[in-house]
Amino acid sequence: MKRTKLLLLSILLAFGSQAEDGYRLWLRYDKIDDNVILQQYNRLITSINFYGSSPTLTAAKTELINGLQGLLDKKILYQSTINNGSVLIGISSSSFIKTLLDKNDLNSLGKEGYIIRTAKSNQKNITIITANSDVAVLYGVFYFLRLIQTHQNILQLSIISVPKIQNRILDHWDNLNRTVERGYAGISIWNWHELPDYIDHRYIDYARANASIGINGTVLTNVNANALVLTKDYLVKVAALANVFRTYGIKVYLTAKFSAPVEIGGLKTADPLNAEVQNWWKQKADEIYKYIPDFGGFLVKANSEGQPGPQTYGRTHADGANMLADALAPHNGIVMWRAFVYSNETPDDRFKQAYNEFKPFDGKFKSNVIIQVKNGPIDFQPREPFHPLFGAIPQTPLMMEFQITQEYLGQGTHLVYEAPLFKETLNADTYSNGVGSTVAKVVDGSMNNFQISGMAGVANIGNERNWTNHPFAQANWYAFGRLAWDHDLSAPQIADEWIRQTFSNKKLFVDEVKKIMLASREAVVNYMTPLGLHHIMGTGNHYGPAPWVSNAGRADWNPVYYHKADSAGIGFDRTATGSNALAQYKSEVSNQWKDSNTCDEKYLLWFHHVSWGHTMKSGKTLWQELCAKYQQGVDSVRWMQHQWIGLKDFIDEERFNQVKMFLSIQEKEAEWWRNACLLYFQTFSKMPLPDGYEKPDHTLDYYKSLRFPYAPGSG
């Protein structure tokens, strides 16, 4: 019996030491496996010196000690004296640190920037990590650990890093019953039933992970809001989370349901110009700040997809946003008012509606209101042109909204690295102030000198052990945070960092995985929505192809609304001969896309209804090119599978097999997309599939018959 227990214990210990379940994300502080690099770091880092005693600085100290001890495989001593190899961490006002740094450098940091610098003190080589605030010191500690995790040279450091965007926020579309709208990684991590008394350690690790990439805010609740979260019973629970996150520099925000004064306040109206309503919101804001002194503010979805809003009472978006802004202003809170609005009663192209509704109110919003705009004009598609509001309302700050969760990108099982998508939007030139007026400059406020700026990402996090279900989906959370801090970073650079921290620093492995990641977004575009097709996913759950659907509850929920395939051709005419959505862009932009013969073909069917025989740049007809793109998407997934299998010896078995199985699902679903879409569009083109391409293994009727009533993520 004793031997059996010992055997079981040894097995458990073995699994515990070898298993890689992904929980640690990119914060893996395992011993460096390159002895040459390990010896170099051990010579350069001998001890730490700590200045300060706040909870945040204590967290920074703990993170640094744990990280260094794990990576360097030695005990890191905390000392009060300066030695060769000392790492000094503390705020810049510390008397000793202040003497080692230039005042101008410190002034340039603001509240969140940090300095990491190699210096000398009494002829001893030291490394300083400092900033003007506790949380910025913590950011610097995470960056220093990242340098070591990724095997960078730390011999002569001179790093100054300041975030380009002020509010860097995750939007959780989590409901109070723990379902997650568009969530593919389990249920919500917020266990409202057990709060405020039970604090899951996952909340702390969530905060650590966000702080490590500079995220400084979290919206806890779904934009399709529930007013109950604003009641006392829930505010005490929100306060418990805020108390955890505060140490890591993260503010909490809540979604405000516009009808809350009626639903939980006992009023008969939620009219924003009604004095009783205004007073109710002011009192509610005062109450929230009593529980959460550093509460960030409200995110609001109003008059969109059935949500109540000011237009319900004949008022404007400015009326609604400004009322909430007045309630929050005494507490320095902000209102993030979403521009995702469209109406079934408005016959105009859905592409145009947000611009039409917000353009007239440019300059009419209070200074603590920021308009949150999706990256594209429709709805987080695999590829969209940048939203025409960017650059169009220069007197109003705009906040970017990306979707990290893969609602339209294969959901929880497809490997899709989203940084290229994010960068495509951020680098797009709006020409609003001439050449170089990029979306990034609109969002960071530099183009129009705004004091408020923001970037939001719809979170892909759930209670799955590895947080995001697909191991590579972690890279999208990571990439969002890094780009929100510094939008000048490149997609390859971010991928390189993430791979090295999450998997391995082995060059062959890093190079091959980076190729997979950088090819993955274009692959999903090709096997789902090539050449500018968009929103042809299954209605409701958005899982799988359904370009044939025409009976949804409203016109612009139907895929046929967007592709407009007929015997003459395919695509949505948004030129002057169609909806004229192109007129919402500056002429320098619209001129790039207005001619079907010169339009960038990745946007061709976004802006043009093109004949099936239209000659493409490749010399193929449109139909032939469409077939080629769908096949190319499938082939890309197969290539990804082949590359991954070749890396088996570089990675732990658990994550290797997990990704391998997900890639198998992705291949099957890419084939499904190709087959279903080409069979359907062939009913209009009347053209055969070109020779050499794989033929569908089922009929169109078979694909039309598929139903998925319990697909995840509906919330």
pLDDT, tens digit, 9 for 90 and up, residues 74-114: 998 888 889 999 999 999 988 788 888 888 889 999 999 99
Which stretches within 77-123 are classed as H helix? 95-98, 103-107
Question: Does residue 158 sit in helix, strand or coil?
Answer: strand
**Is 378 in contact with 353 (CB distance < 8 Å)?**
no
Given the structure tokens 């202003």, which residue do they identify?
329
Element (H, E) at 169: strand 167-171
Q: Per-residue DSSP letters for 298-323?
A: EEE--SSTT---GGGGT--HHHHHHH
Percentage of the chain lying above the pLDDT 90 cut: 91
Nearest to 576 by CA among 564, 555, 590: 590
**Is 72 in contact with 151 (CB distance < 8 Å)?**
no
Domain 167-493 listed as CATH 3.20.20.80: yes
Q: How far apart are CA 633 and CA 433, in angstroms?
A: 37
Count of CA atoms in the C-beta half-sphere (13 A) of 336? 29
pLDDT tens across 360-411, in order?
Answer: 999 999 999 999 999 999 999 999 999 999 999 999 999 999 999 999 999 9
Residue 193 burial (CB count, 10 A): 10
Average pLDDT over residues 679-689: 97
Which two tokens mark 41? 């770091």
pLDDT tens across 288-302, in order?
Answer: 999 999 999 999 999
Element (H, E) at 369: strand 369-374
Which two tokens mark 240? 């418990």
**Strand 297-300 versus strand 114-121 pairing type:** unpaired
Predicted pLDDT at 344? 64
Which two tokens mark 525? 């575009």
Q: How far apart are CA 446 and CA 27, in angstroms?
A: 32
Q: How far apart are CA 104 and CA 543, in angstroms?
A: 53
Q: Distance from CA of residue 276 to its chain's centroid?
A: 38
Per the omega criterion (within 30 degrees of 0), is the bond before 377 cis? no
Which two tokens mark 424? 């495509």
Predicted pLDDT at 6? 42
Q: Assign domain 20-161 one CATH number from 3.40.50.150, 1.10.10.10, 3.90.1200.10, 3.30.379.10.
A: 3.30.379.10
Read off the DSSP letter of residue 545.
B
Range in 193-197, 201-205, 323-327, 554-558 the model is least confident about: 554-558
Q: How far apart are CA 101 and CA 646, in angstroms?
A: 49
Range in 12-16, 532-536, 686-690 the model is least confident about: 12-16
Residue 4 burial (CB count, 10 A): 8
Which stretches within 294-383 are classed as H helix? 317-328, 350-358
The overall longest dimension of the chain from CA atoms, in Å, is 84
Active site residues: 305, 379, 407
Helices 491-502/507-528 angle, 10° precision: 120
Q: How far apart are CA 507 and CA 494, in angstroms?
A: 15
pLDDT mean across residues, the chain: 95
Nearest to 469 by CA among 19, 18, 29, 21: 21
**Strand 454-458 versus strand 217-219 pairing type:** unpaired
Q: How far apart are CA 9 and CA 18, in angstroms?
A: 14
Q: Is the pLDDT at 348 greater than 80, yes or no?
A: yes
Which two tokens mark 211? 């702080």
Q: Is the pLDDT at 714 greater than 90, yes or no?
A: no
pLDDT tens across 552-602, in order?
Answer: 888 899 999 999 999 999 999 999 999 999 999 999 999 999 999 999 999
Average pLDDT over residues 426-446: 98
Nearest to 350 by CA among 388, 383, 316: 388
Higher pLDDT, 228 or 713: 228
Q: How far apart are CA 604 and CA 597, in angstroms?
A: 9
pLDDT tens across 292-336, in order?
Answer: 999 999 999 999 998 999 999 999 999 999 999 999 999 999 999
Q: Is the pLDDT at 14 greater than 60, yes or no?
A: no
pLDDT tens across 60-75, in order?
Answer: 999 999 999 999 999 9
Q: Is the pLDDT at 132 greater than 70, yes or no?
A: yes
Read off the DSSP letter of residue 76.
P
Q: Exposed, middle or buried by CB within 10 Å (0-12, 13-18, 19+), for 95?
A: exposed
pTM listed for this prediction: 0.96
Given the structure tokens 């032939």, which residue do they identify?
624
Question: Does residue 615 sit in helix, strand or coil?
Answer: strand
Secondary-structure class of domain 526-572+609-705 per CATH: alpha beta
**Is 418 in contact with 479 (CB distance < 8 Å)?**
yes
Q: Is the pLDDT at 4 greater than 70, yes or no?
A: no
The domain ranges of the chain are 20-161, 167-493, 526-572+609-705
Nearest to 139 by CA among 221, 201, 63, 43: 63
